[in-house]
């Protein structure tokens, strides 16, 4: 389908033009999310429309997920093709689309093989299981420990909230899963002492699970020197180095993988979010030496089915064909420069602007009342969608196809929102 045809068919979709009934929604749907009073029903590129036809610039992109924006012709074509051809069969059989996507990922990363699942948490679960099996069978550790970083985020299953070293995600869900130990991020001496202290009796450090850039934890990039030293320690001790690339990977950082910014390769890494451009897919990728799973040891009914892998492959090929990484780099620089100008105008409110490519954070001073959520609410009034990364950091994660003009529009809307709040 051409862009023109798609735009015509999109334009013919009328908004409901009615006030959305949140009350009946809230009665039927569990209250696991703090929702903004906004019901979205249509999207095109970097824009979305609510049920009353109001337009928003979408700098959330399903939280760093809709790589190609909304209703991208390549995705519309792939979804249509795949649903007509074959959407689901079991992994009891070979799935050609799954093989093609795995080959693309292997060709474009340091990994040798891929396991497919449905989400970031599930990909991290797979990595945790693989690391534990490697510890038992290769490292000969009876009680393996995985080190994770404070302020990290790795998902919402029991093992991944345990890996997530933030008490707010763990409260009331104990007993947690044993075998995790937390260290401060970007602090190499903490890693060295943890490895030394925890290697006792049956216990031993099997792996370090870490984000190249902490996303939910406040858009905090990893230090190059810290990650190089991590790699060196892992080489010397045999501890596995696992990177969670769920948010920062698949081109969001301006390079395909976050680890490319750090000059080190992981032994295992996970991907989800941007990999499918908005369809649910996750992946755990590993180097050959630690790929110790045997048939029957791990599985997922939907994992890597023809529908998701066919669509994700078209997302990957579009990123490559349309040279989207160079857009991410240019637009990221433009966005950070604009945010820094706004920060310079409001030094009493904004303390820092940081990020890689199109994952950026604007941090507010700790000692003021204003929160990231206040900014997000004010931006919604201006027609701009943003998402907090903690109470003091506003996150900007637009689709990777965002244009120069859209970045300028978003900056103008943000500035107007801040001016009103101020
Ligand atoms: C770094 C990281 N890992 C894992 C996850 C969990 O992914 P999912 O929500 O797809 O389970 C997220 C989600 O925000 C994430 O940012």
pLDDT at 280: 98
pLDDT at 129: 98
- What is the dotted CATH code of the domain comprising 3-65+323-421? 3.90.1150.10
pLDDT at 164: 98
How high does pLDDT run on average in the chain?
Answer: 96
Same fold, 3-65+323-421 and 76-321: no
Burial of 17 (0-12, 13-18, 19+ CB in 10 A): exposed
Domain 76-321 in this protein, CATH class: alpha beta
Domain ranges of the chain: 3-65+323-421, 76-321
Nearest CA to ligand 1 atom 13: 155
Alpha-carbon distance values, 315 to 311, 400, 416 (Å): 6, 11, 34
Kindly state the tokens that stand for 419. Answer: 């001016």
Nearest CA to ligand 1 atom 8: 120
End-to-end CA distance of the chain: 46
Q: pLDDT tier at 404 (50, 70, 90 boundaries)?
A: very high
pLDDT at 24: 95
- Please write the tens of the pLDDT for every residue from 341-386: 999 999 999 999 999 999 999 999 999 999 999 999 999 999 999 9
Nearest CA to ligand 1 atom 16: 247
Q: Judge whether residue 3 has pLDDT over 60.
A: no
- Please write the tens of the pLDDT for every residue from 148-157: 999 999 999 9
Can you spell out the DSSP letters for 356-374? ETTEEEEEEPTTSS--HHH
Q: If you measure from the C-alpha of residue 246 to the centroid of ligand 1, how many angstroms do you get, rounded to a whole number? A: 6
pLDDT at 18: 74
Probe target for ligand 1 pocket from 66, 117, 120, 127, with the most ligand atoms within 8 Å of CB: 120
Indicate the range of 10-24, 81-95, 133-147, 287-301 predicted with least confidence: 10-24
Q: Judge whether residue 6 has pLDDT over 80.
A: no
- Please write the tens of the pLDDT for every residue from 99-121: 999 999 999 999 999 999 999 99
Bridge-partner residues for 208, per DSSP? Answer: 147, 241
Burial of 120 (0-12, 13-18, 19+ CB in 10 A): buried
* Contact assessment for residue 392 and residue 352, using Cβ atoms and an 8 Å cutoff: no
Kindly state the tokens that stand for 14. Answer: 């009328």
Q: pLDDT tier at 422 (50, 70, 90 boundaries)?
A: confident
3 state DSSP class of 229? helix
* Contact assessment for residue 125 and residue 345, using Cβ atoms and an 8 Å cutoff: no
Probe target for ligand 1 pocket from 122, 125, 155, with the most ligand atoms within 8 Å of CB: 155
Q: If you measure from the C-alpha of residue 193 to the centroid of ligand 1, how many angstroms do you get, rounded to a whole number? A: 28
* Contact assessment for residue 65 and residue 278, using Cβ atoms and an 8 Å cutoff: yes
Q: Judge whether residue 274 has pLDDT over 80.
A: yes
Alpha-carbon distance values, 162 to 74, 129, 146, 178 (Å): 38, 14, 10, 8
Mean pLDDT, to the nearest integer, of 219-233?
A: 98
Query: Looking at 50, 58, 244, 267, which residue is catalytic?
Result: 244
Which residues lie with the beta carbon below 6 Å from any ligand 1 atom?
119-121, 124, 153-155, 211, 215-216, 244, 246-247, 272
Mean pLDDT, to the nearest integer, of 260-269?
A: 98
- 371-379's contacts with Cβ under 8 Å and 24+ in sequence apart are 374/421, 375/414, 375/417, 375/418, 375/421, 376/36, 377/36, 378/417, 378/418, 378/420, 378/421, 379/413, 379/414, 379/417
């Amino acid at each position: 389908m051409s862009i023109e045809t798609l735009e015509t068919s999109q334009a013919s979709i009328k908004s409901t033009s009615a006030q959305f009934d949140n009350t009946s929604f809230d009665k039927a749907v569990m209250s696991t999310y703090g929702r903004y009073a906004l019901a979205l029903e249509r999207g095109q590129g970097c824009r979305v429309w609510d049920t009353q036809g109001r337009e928003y610039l979408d700098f959330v992109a399903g939280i760093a997920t809709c790589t190609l924006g909304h209703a991208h012709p390549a995705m519309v074509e792939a979804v249509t093709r795949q649903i007509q051809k074959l959407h689901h069969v079991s992994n009891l059989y070979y799935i050609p689309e799954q093989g093609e996507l795995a080959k693309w990922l292997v060709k474009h990363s340091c990994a040798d093989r891929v396991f497919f699942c449905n989400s970031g948490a599930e990909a991290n679960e797979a990595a945790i299981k693989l690391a534990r099996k490697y510890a038992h069978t290769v490292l000969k550790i009876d009680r393996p420990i995985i080190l994770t970083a404070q302020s990290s985020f790795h998902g919402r299953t029991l093992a991944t909230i345990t890996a997530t070293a933030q008490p707010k995600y763990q409260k009331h869900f104990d007993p947690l899963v044993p075998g995790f130990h937390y260290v401060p991020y970007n602090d190499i001496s903490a890693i060295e002492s943890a490895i030394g202290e925890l290697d006792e009796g049956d216990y031993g450090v099997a792996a370090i699970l870490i984000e190249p850039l902490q996303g939910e934890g406040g858009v905090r990039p990893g230090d190059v020197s810290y990650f190089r030293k991590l790699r060196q320690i892992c080489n010397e001790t045999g501890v596995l180095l696992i990177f969670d690339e769920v948010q920062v990977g698949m081109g969001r950082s301006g390079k395909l993988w976050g680890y490319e910014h750090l000059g080190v390769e992981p032994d295992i890494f996970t991907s989800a979010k941007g990999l499918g451009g908005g369809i649910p897919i996750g992946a755990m990728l590993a180097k050959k030496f630690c790929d110790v799973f045997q048939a029957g040891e791990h599985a997922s009914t939907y994992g890597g089915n023809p529908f998701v892998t066919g669509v994700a492959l078209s997302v990957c090929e579009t990123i490559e064909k349309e040279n989207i990484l160079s857009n991410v780099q240019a637009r990221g620089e433009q966005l950070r420069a604009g945010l820094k100008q706004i920060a310079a105008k409001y030094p009493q409110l904004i303390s820092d602007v940081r990020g890689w490519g199109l994952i950026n954070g604007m941090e507010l001073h700790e000692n003021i009342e204003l929160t990231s959520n206040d900014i997000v609410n004010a931006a919604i009034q201006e027609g701009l969608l943003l998402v907090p990364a903690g109470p003091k950091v506003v996150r900007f994660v637009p689709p990777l196809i965002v244009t120069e003009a859209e970045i300028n529009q978003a900056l103008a809307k943000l500035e107007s929102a801040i001016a009103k709040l101020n």
